[in-house]
Amino acid sequence: MALTVGLLYNLGKNEPPADGDPPDAHAELDGEQTVASVAEALRWAGHHVVPIESSCNIWEKLQAQPLDIAFNMTEGVHGGSRESQVPAILEMLGIPYTGSNVLTLAVSLDKSTSKKLFTYHGVPTPRFRVVPPGKRADLRGLRFPLFVKPGHEGSSMGISPESVCRDRQALDEQVTRLHRLYRQEALVEEYVEGREFTVGFVGNEEPLALPIMEINFGLCPPEHGAVYSYRFKTEWDADGYYLCPAPVGEDLATLLRKTALNAFRALGCLDVGRVDIRLGRDGLPQVLEVNPLPGLTPAFSDLPRVALAAGISYERLVNLILDAALERYGLSPALQSLSAIA
């Protein structure tokens, strides 16, 4: 079924950092290669693609172009709930779109609110505190080492080896630095020192769990440590840094998938998502974050990597996301069981 699909995105090159912004500002925004690759994948399936760059006048752009559905990749413009801005406009205009809804996108970028929901739903996550700008962290109930990150960012923004703090002085310095650079609250959580994994999902009622991927910190310089930092993502993209399928036994794999699915559902994710997990000292999973708007850069972003390990081509991955949304909106017949794909 050929459709008119609006491809909605933000181009990083068109939104350069302003004076005073951190060096990784807008790291979450897409490059031209990613946008072109997603468009080509949609055309591969026979759809007519209308690229629409997100900006403050996107309302007018959407009103001017009839669409059957939007493939949403937008990160928004400003604010702690920015990923929900364009989906809110789409809902106001009655345009179906891929991916999670307004509430899920707002909550997932608010790391402390996500963790509160994890706790409510019994999803294991590190204990934490929120530190508003200009305030000093209240560490009652927390145990060093602690990990500090911005409260409303993605793409490992603000994450570095210095995020791991082993004493009060280092913690105060890192919190102050994040307050100054990112002008938002800092999240302080207990650092989980074990192995790190990511689990991707596509689908809804019974989402397909893609092969588990382990982040291999063993190849990093010793001074960098086991931190999935912005530097790690941008400098170390060779396959050896990403072990997929992860070298784990079936019992641990089952537990990782179950924990990830519970987190995916706790935030109400739709169509696609990725869950980041670490193992605690007891060997049990702790959920760090859920990303309901995962990157789609071919051969680079985590989701395309794990899909390829399942034998799912990039073109098929993009259209599985679209098909999941179409089925959810009742715009296409029931899909083939996703469990039969991998």
pLDDT at 171: 96
The residues of the chain that CATH labels 3.40.50.20 are: 4-99
Q: What is the CATH number of domain 127-190?
A: 3.30.1490
Distance from the first to the final alpha carbon of the chain: 23
Per-residue pLDDT of the chain (342 residues; tens, 9 = 90+): 789 999 999 886 455 555 566 665 555 566 789 999 999 999 999 999 999 998 878 889 998 889 999 999 997 766 667 788 999 999 999 999 999 999 999 999 899 999 999 999 999 999 999 999 999 999 999 999 999 999 887 767 888 999 999 999 999 999 999 999 888 899 999 999 999 999 999 999 999 999 999 999 999 888 898 999 888 888 888 889 999 999 999 999 999 999 999 999 999 999 999 999 999 999 999 999 999 999 999 988 999 999 999 999 999 999 999 999 999 999 975 444 443 454
Pick the CATH number of 196-340 from 1.20.1200.10, 1.10.3720.10, 3.30.470.20, 1.10.260.40: 3.30.470.20
Q: What's the predicted TM-score (pTM) here? A: 0.91
| Separation of CA 90 from chain center | 21
CATH class of 4-99: alpha beta
The residues of the chain that CATH labels 3.30.470.20 are: 196-340
